[in-house]
Amino acid sequence: MADRLYIDTLTPAELAAVERRMRPGNASSAGFLGRGESLRNCIERDAATLARHGVTHYEAARWLEDMLNRIPKGVDASLRFSGYEAKGVVRRGIQGCPFGSYACGMTNVTYQFTKRSTQEGFSISGLLPHLIGTHQFFEGNTPYRLDPERLLEMRAHIPHL
């Protein structure tokens, strides 16, 4: 059964305020949502992807959180698993959850992943398990988005995590 969407609990004015906060240069310089992108479209599209695979947001968030907790944080340390190399980078500033006006969730860690076969890299925020689990949000069209298809592919390759 599909999760109830957090955005459905917001008034149109609250939703608009969250979207404004998520644009590049507001809550974070990179933004959580691309310019002109609809938060609702983004969340509904990703919810449909998870539903197609029979995975709930809660399950996806728990799995991601468990995986991130195993990744060392520090310049020289990294974790190698199933074709990926991952490390956690501690940032100077705290990134708060863009949905809440007060501390809903926060992080100061960015996780960097490199697929060793292709050297293709991507980064995600330590806030992402909270964003997925609480707000059903994988981030919009930004450098820190984790496409649910990619998360599910990683999960399929490392089912023991």
Q: Which of 32, 84, 99, 138 touches Zn ion by CB under 5 A?
A: 99
144 close to 127: Cβ distance less than 8 angstroms:
no
Neighbouring residues of 81: CB distance < 8 A, sequence distance ≥ 6? 158, 161
CA 30/CA 79 separation, integer angstroms: 26
Binding segment for Zn ion among 69-77, 91-99, 118-126, 146-154 (CB under 5 A)?
Answer: 91-99
The least distance separating Zn ion from the CB of residue 130, rounded to whole angstroms, comes to 6
Joined together, the tokens standing for residue 74 give 């520090």
105 binds Zn ion (CB under 5 A): yes
42 binds Zn ion (CB under 5 A): no
What is the greatest pairwise CA distance in the chain?
Answer: 46
Mask of contacts with Zn ion, 58-87, x by CB under 5 A?
Answer: ------------------------------
Binding-site ranges for Zn ion (CB under 5 A): 97, 99-100, 104-105
